[in-house]
Amino acid sequence: MAHIDAGTVISADAEVVGCTLAEGSALLDLKTYVYYSLNEVGAFVWDALEQPVRFDQLVGEVAAEFDAPRDRIAADLQRLVTQLDAAGLVRCAQPA
């Protein structure tokens, strides 16, 4: 599992497909055929991960969209990205 810090670059795994639902998104891991569900904020994050993004940029994008303290957003995103990484749904890398 990757260590997530401000400079960590995160992107959706190419073998995971998602679709938008009424209140979030559904993800299918094509390697394992396991489905995952995301709430509205998780769906926003997933859409942002279509292109590689630094963790601190992702925090800023979520803060601009949702009304919550930035430190809480960062903590919640760190938990979400860690869970997505553990499930193999995202790729995390440190910049060179």
pLDDT score for 81: 97
Question: What does the pLDDT read at residue 95?
Answer: 81
Query: Structure pTM?
Result: 0.92
CATH 3.10.450.50 for the 9-93 domain, yes or no: no
Question: At 64, is the pLDDT very low, low, confident or very high (cuts 50, 70, 90)?
Answer: very high
Between the alpha carbon of residue 73 and those of residues 16, 21, 51, 58, the distances in Å are 24, 23, 20, 10
3-state SS class at 83: helix
Q: Where are the domains of the chain?
A: 9-93
pLDDT category of residue 61 using cuts at 50, 70 and 90: very high
Question: What's the CA gap between 63 and 48, in Å, rounded?
Answer: 13
83, two tokens: 């869970």
